[in-house]
Chains A and B, each alone.
Chain A
Amino acid sequence: MPALPDRLTQVTCYALASDPTICVKILNASLACCTLELQAAIASGEFVETDDASCDRQVTVLVVAGTVTDALVPRVMELIKSHPGAKVMSFGACATSGGPYWDSPPVSKGIDQFVEVASYVSGCPPRPEAFIQAVRVLAQIGTQA
């Protein structure tokens, strides 16, 4: 397999607008429609780009957003393995269970079959608020918005 290009493996560091001492590094494995809600959440103002040095606490979140086909699993695994310590978030129905495509032969019925998932988010797609909530849970700062 050729190496994944840099633009797909970039991790961007954000401070949370509601809790600026906490930084969240987000890597968006943007596979399908759920990506758009993720990007809407990031563009909402809750996530402020910052550099590493300004963080008291940090959490790296690798978001699998979208349908994972069996053919794509090796790539997703490669992405996950290249960020050890990252918390994997299964964002949306497809990543969690195959979603509406559970009956389709090429679709994986949930990424938790091959990787440990720290957080599952229900939705098709989940709302941006759900992503923000999930990040807060992973950063262990409570769920008060």
Chain B
Amino acid sequence: MKHSFIALIEDKCTSCMLCVRECPAWCITLDSHTVEVTEEGARRPRKVNVLDSFEIDYSLCMYCGVCIDVCPFDALAWDEHRALVTADREDMLLGIVELRPSDSS
């Protein structure tokens, strides 16, 4: 599975920024905002971080997997290998949609 592909499971991400800070190549960027969620029966609303954007620059990524190791919520994971071949370097900047695991519906 190693050196295959790093995928993001969006629902698990809490924008803790650990992957961004620990990436040795500085290839991850994320942006998020806070949303109040009211749940029935809860005494007060709680604040939840919602991802606005999450990008991995695969022109820099060295597939070390440190981001996967440090994520406390298992929001990043090794995925099936996909050959990332592009005609433009900018197309290697993958966002939330492109980073979805290959087996997600």
- Complex: A in contact with B (CB within 8 Å): yes
Interface residues in chain A, defined as those with a beta carbon under 8 Å from any beta carbon in chain B: 93, 96-100, 102, 110, 112, 117-127, 129-130, 133-134, 137
Main secondary structure of the interface of A (DSSP, over half): mixed
Q: From B88, which residue of chain A is reached at the shortest CB distance?
A: A120
Most buried by B among A99, A120, A121: A120
Contact B60 A133 (CB under 8 A): no
Main secondary structure of the interface of B (DSSP, over half): loop
Contact A122 B61 (CB under 8 A): yes
Query: What band does the interface of chain B fall in when counting residues whose beta carbon is under 8 Å from A?
Result: 20 to 34
Across the interface, B25 reaches (CB within 8 A) one of A99, A110, A119, A121, namely A99
Chain B 44-63 interface residues, beta-carbon cutoff 8 Å to A = 57-63
Interface residues in chain B, defined as those with a beta carbon under 8 Å from any beta carbon in chain A: 3-4, 24-25, 57-64, 81, 83-89, 91-92
What is the minimal beta-carbon distance from B55 to any residue of chain A, in angstroms?
14
Q: From A91, which residue of chain B is reached at the shortest CB distance?
A: B85
What is the minimal beta-carbon distance from B67 to any residue of chain A, in angstroms?
14
- A71 and B88 CA atoms in complex are apart in Å by 25
What is the minimal beta-carbon distance from B4 to any residue of chain A, in angstroms?
8
Q: From A128, which residue of chain B is reached at the shortest CB distance?
A: B83
- A96 and B57 CA atoms in complex are apart in Å by 11
Write out the residue numbers on chain A whose beta carbons fall within 8 Å of the beta carbon of B57. Answer: 97
Contact A127 B24 (CB under 8 A): no
- A56 and B84 CA atoms in complex are apart in Å by 28
Q: A93-B60, A100-B24 are in contact. Are A119 and B92 (CB under 8 A)?
A: no
Across the interface, A124 reaches (CB within 8 A) one of B61, B83, B88, namely B61
